[in-house]
């Protein structure tokens, strides 16, 4: 088993499975976060975030999600290191750029930058909501007391424009990472005939643009004062 996971196909398999799992998380996460811009009272977002924080199934999924991120990152380091060792002679840049996209050649760098964004993001929101609870305001909605996540997020984006700009940059980096990651994951898992690759590449582009736009709209919405 460990031989399979470290062999070329096993390494790619691990990246694909964890990548697809993270894609599902990102889609659900975006759907929940878009509630921030659909209801300026913040009630919808707070109800959604409260549901995610208290639902037993989601609680079980949280460590699984963390593990998914850790495996995806560690395997990307292993793959990049082994590829680097296997290619002592540098590729001719001209011929490489003709057969591949910029994003596909820079997956490690893009993923690394998304990781930097993620660390900042976890400290800003996840850490505050989970461990720094005394700094959180609470609200009562439909008789239930819950943390005011809407206030936390909106005040951060309204109060510091640089913060919003970093989030927009994070959304662009994530979208670029996904343009290659999405179809590459399906290709590794067997959808690799010519027709499907072309279709998947298009689906990947559209999906990545929607995810990037979706995440970028949220800070923009507050930075432009559209919540008033």
Q: Interface residues with ligand HEM (CB under 6 A)?
A: 26, 29, 33, 49, 52-53, 114, 118, 121-122, 125-126, 129-130, 149, 153, 167, 170, 174, 215, 218-219
CB of 22 to ligand HEM, least distance (A): 8
CB of 114 to ligand HEM, least distance (A): 6
Residue with smaller CB distance to ligand HEM, 21 or 167? 167
Runs of H (alpha helix) within 160-190: 161-188
Q: For residues 39 and 223, is the Cβ–Cβ distance under 8 A?
A: no
CB of 130 to ligand HEM, least distance (A): 5
CB of 197 to ligand HEM, least distance (A): 25
Residue with smaller CB distance to ligand HEM, 91 or 126? 126
CB of 13 to ligand HEM, least distance (A): 22
**Where would I find the beta strands (DSSP E) of the chain?**
138-141, 144-147
Per the listing, tokens 């936390």 go with 152
Residue with smaller CB distance to ligand HEM, 26 or 78? 26
CA distances to 37, 155, 157 from 187, rounded to whole Å, are: 35, 42, 38
Residue with smaller CB distance to ligand HEM, 125 or 196? 125
Phi, psi of 139 (to 5 degrees): -135, 160
Residue-wise burial string across 68-99, b where 16 or more C-beta atoms lie within 10 A, e elsewhere: bbebbeebbeebeeeeeeeeeeeeeeeeeeee
Residue with smaller CB distance to ligand HEM, 5 or 156? 156
């Amino acid at each position: 088993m460990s031989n399979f996971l470290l062999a070329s196909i096993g390494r790619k398999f691990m990246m694909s499975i964890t990548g697809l799992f993270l894609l599902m998380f990102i889609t659900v996460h975006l759907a929940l976060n878009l509630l921030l811009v659909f209801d300026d009272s913040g009630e919808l977002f707070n109800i959604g975030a409260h549901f995610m924080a208290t639902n037993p199934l989601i609680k079980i999924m949280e460590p699984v999600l963390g593990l998914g991120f850790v495996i995806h990152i560690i395997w990307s380091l292993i793959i990049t290191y082994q590829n680097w060792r296997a290619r002592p002679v540098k590729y001719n840049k001209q011929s490489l750029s003709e057969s591949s996209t910029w994003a596909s050649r820079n997956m490690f760098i893009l993923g690394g930058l998304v990781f930097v964004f993620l660390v900042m993001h976890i400290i800003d929101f996840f850490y505050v909501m989970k461990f720094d609870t005394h700094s959180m305001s609470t609200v009562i909605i439909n008789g239930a007391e819950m943390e005011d996540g809407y206030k936390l997020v909106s005040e951060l984006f309204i109060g510091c424009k640089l913060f919003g700009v970093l989030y927009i940059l994070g959304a662009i980096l994530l979208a670029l990472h996904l343009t290659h990651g999405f179809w590459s994951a399906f290709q590794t898992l067997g959808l690799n005939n010519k027709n499907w690759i072309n279709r998947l590449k298009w689906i990947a582009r559209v999906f990545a643009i929607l995810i990037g736009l979706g995440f970028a709209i949220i800070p923009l919405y507050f930075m432009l004062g559209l919540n008033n």
